[in-house]
Chain A
C-alpha cells in the first residue's frame, strides 16, 4: 500500500499570507496526485488534479506542484473562506489519502 504523509498536520496563518502544505508518497507515484478541500460538516471538494491542474471554477490562488514522491499545495494569498482541512490523495494504485492539514486563521 502507498502511504501519504502530509505536513504540517495543522497550520495557522493570517489573511493574505502564502500558505504551503507538503505531501510525500512512500513510493514514486508520478503525478497521480490530487488535492481536496473539506470545510466543516461538508463533503470534500476536488481542487487540484494530476498534481498541478486546477479544477474548473477553483480560484487561481490555489496551485499544486511536484512529481515522484514529493508534492506541494500552495495558497498564494489566504482568504477567510479558505479555512478548511486539505487532503492529498494518490491514485497510482488503490487510492489513499494523506492524514489532512487543518488550516486556521491567525
Chain B
C-alpha cells in the first residue's frame, strides 16, 4: 500500500524558511515523479512543484519560482520542499503526491495527509 507522510510544517515569520519532508513507502520511490500541491485555507488546489523520478528534472509554479526548491533522496525514499523568503500568501496545507510515471507531472494518484504551513508575524 502506498503511504506518503508529510512533516515539517509549522508557524514561520514572513521572510523565514521552512523545509517540508514527505516520507514514501509501499512503492519503488525512484520510479515515479513526485509533486507538491498546496491549498490555502478555504481555497482551491494549486500545483507548486514537481520532480522526476531521478531528480534530474524539476518544475515550479511562477508563484514560488526562485524561492522554493524541490528535491528528493531516493536512498531515503523522501521528497523535500525547501521554502525560503516565505510570504503570508504561502500559508496553506502542503500535500505531496505520487505520479503515475517517472517523468511527468500529470496524474496525481496518491496523496499524503498534508502539512500546514502558516506564515505570520
Contacts and interface: CB of A to CB of B under 8 A. Distances in A.
B35 A43 contact: no
Contacts of B113: 43
Contacts of B45: 36, 38, 44, 87, 89, 97, 100
A87 B44 contact: yes
Interface centre among A32, A36, A94, A96 (most CB of B within 10 A): A94
A90 to B, nearest CB: 9
A95 B62 contact: no
A44 B96 CA distance: 11
B44 A43 contact: no
Interface on chain B toward A: helix, strand, loop, or mixed SS?
loop
A94 B35 CA distance: 11
A63 to B, nearest CB: 17
Interface in A25-65: 32, 34, 36, 38, 43-46, 49, 55
B104 A43 contact: no
A38 B114 CA distance: 13
Interface of A: 1, 32, 34, 36, 38, 43-46, 49, 55, 85, 87, 89, 91, 94-100
13 contacts: A1-B62, A36-B108, A38-B45, A43-B113, A44-B37, A44-B45, A44-B108, A45-B111, A46-B109, A55-B109, A94-B59, A95-B106, A100-B45
Interface of B: 35, 37, 44-47, 50, 59, 61-62, 95, 100, 104-109, 111-114
Given A91-B105, A91-B107, 15 more contacts: A34-B106, A36-B45, A38-B45, A43-B113, A43-B114, A44-B45, A44-B111, A46-B109, A49-B107, A85-B44, A89-B45, A94-B47, A95-B47, A97-B44, A98-B44
